[in-house]
Copies of this chain bind each other. A is one copy, B any other.
């Protein structure tokens, strides 16, 4: 049975390119596993969606009898038995996966949520004062400094490209998109190196095509009213 990946039916421009179904598309392209895409409404959340995912988030995958959410758990599940989660280096890859999703992403989201609130207060709430945002940026930069030191001259976090790199690069692309990665040249190179992978490019192309098709569906629905 083909795996089904759930993402949102439509979203405005600003999160496109960063919605977390992209992480799952990327690992599926790396492993060459076919999949189909289905959707859940972004707003309001549907009861069917909340039954699959209690937090109303995406991605969700349905893989045979298994329904699974949390991008970290999905990366581990889909990486299992492949070179993206090698048995010989499993514990360290897991360490870097959690470093991406618990340490680095937590500090990145704390900061970027504040930054986005200055532009999209209807989505992210009233913006904090600049001095508060700057403190959050410095806390994030301390994490990025540690990451850059740990990466050193290596191409990838473990010996080879793994699911930990998919998670970490997806977090760092958020920093880059807000213009805050340039101070960390080795992290810029790391993101660029990952972005050159054909699997990333196919995943991103399909991700963006999904939103264009969603615009067309939305326009057709509104015309049909």
Q: Which of B94, B128, B150 contacts A129 (CB 8 A)?
A: B128
A19 within 8 A of B: no
Among B70, B94, B131, the residue within 8 A (CB) of A99 is B70
Q: How large is the interface on A (under 10, 10 to 19, 20 to 34, 35 or more residues)?
A: 35 or more
Given contacts A70-B95, A91-B77, A95-B73, whether A135 and B146 have CB atoms under 8 Å apart is no
Does A72 have its Cβ within 8 Å of any Cβ on chain B? Answer: yes
Alpha-carbon gap, A158 to B132, bound state (A): 39
Q: Does A1 contact B (CB under 8 A)?
A: no
Q: A33 near B: Cβ within 8 Å?
A: no
User: B103 and A57: CB pair below 8 A?
Assistant: yes
Nearest-neighbor residue (CB-CB) of A103 within chain B: B55
- Decide if A156 is an interface residue (CB 8 Å cutoff): no
Is B70 in contact with A150, judged by CB distance below 8 angstroms? no
Q: Which one of B57, B76, B124, B146 contacts A50 once the chains associate, using CB atoms below 8 Å?
A: B146
A98 within 8 A of B: yes
Q: Does A4 contact B (CB under 8 A)?
A: no
Is A105 located at the chain interface by the 8 A CB criterion? yes
Is A69 interfacial (CB-CB < 8 Å)?
Answer: yes
Q: Tell me the chain A residues, 116-137 only, with Cβ under 8 Å from chain B.
A: 117, 124-129, 131-132, 135-136
Nearest-neighbour CB distance to chain B for A21, whole angstroms, equals 15
Bits for A58-81, please: 1 = Cβ < 8 Å to B, else 0. 000000001011111100110000
Cβ-based interface call for A102 (8 A): yes
Q: How far is the CB of A126 from chain B (nearest CB, A)?
A: 5
Residues in B whose Cβ lies below 8 Å from that of A183: none
- Which of A's residues lie within 8 Å of B, judged by CB? 50, 54-57, 66, 68-73, 76-77, 91-92, 94-99, 101-103, 105-106, 109-110, 113, 117, 124-129, 131-132, 135-136, 139, 142-143, 146-147, 149-150
Which 4 pairs across A and B sit closest by C-beta, in order of nearness? A125-B135, A54-B150, A70-B98, A72-B98
